[in-house]
Structure 1
């Protein structure tokens, strides 16, 4: 990030046995910040953060402490920069991740019932791309459905403009942070950056279907002219 902190992204859950099909225990998608490389911190401050233990996601949040992971579950972001948190803009959410604010350790998002992360996420142009899977819970059935989470890397929410699409909600455009990939278990995301605007992602389902997703990352991912001068 802008302070040179290293971010680690991971999800929880598994799909290895028949028992896993009916497991609906709460799983998470997590963005965890390692402040070791943060050039804004003194050696003492960096050491204090490295020794501290962030509150676990399943514990109640105590706002009197600063070793918190921001719970992004259910937070919506709109194209006008507002969010579903009253009085809080997308810019405010970014500011909360600075060292001296409450959410200095990163964020977590609760997944839907039965949903889990079983493949490695990708990061492109400031957007975390994390495929997830919800099994068919019928022990005699097979397969399930896959989804793709598209989250801004610092906030764990949607970005402030469209990455994979928007949805009208009461006259405001909500930026999508999760899309349906259809039936089957999805692979990790393959990314292609070509001449088209943005980028393109490819995911193969266990059904054999290959899903193609057009992406508009938060940051520029291509080189090009910034300006020119006639001599």
Structure 2
């Protein structure tokens, strides 16, 4: 899905390729993100269906805040990868970006006490704490790059950030597969705490390098990429 708002400068790779998904890929991502986000918002209800998590019983405020804020980030994210939205309504794009960044900050802070007491113990806790650290770090760098008007770098870091947000999707896919295969929770959950995000981040890194063929040469030459749409 090309971004027609920004033309490539001579000698520079097109930054618009970053963050642009094919139509079917974007639709699948948006559907999965919406489904998981809406389902997760049940933790904000006065009476929660199937409250079968120990963290729900002992740390309900943190779990509720985390579920709601992470759901907002999950919902907002796909719309930031629509080139047409960026081109035609930059004010909305920026507002959604601020909403996403605040939601990630709140979700990360509220995740810490939950991750420290993750189901099945220390390995799962370490996986979720590492996810949180990578999540807030990639989001913070994305915000910093946007404030510096380095839009190409901002888009790359947003791809990485949202790949980590999407751990909410992959976690449920792997958990459902583990249950279907009859693998005990004590075995599958510690692995999922890492598998739900490490492959996502690797895939995001592959994507940004594939989308911007000149990335390595630009780094070697010290070139700074700017998006013409904000010049």
Bin for the TM-score computed over the shorter chain: under 0.3
Quick check: which one's helix share is greater? 2
The structure with higher relative contact order (CA 8 Å, sep 6+) is 2
TM-score computed with the length of structure 1 as normaliser = 0.28
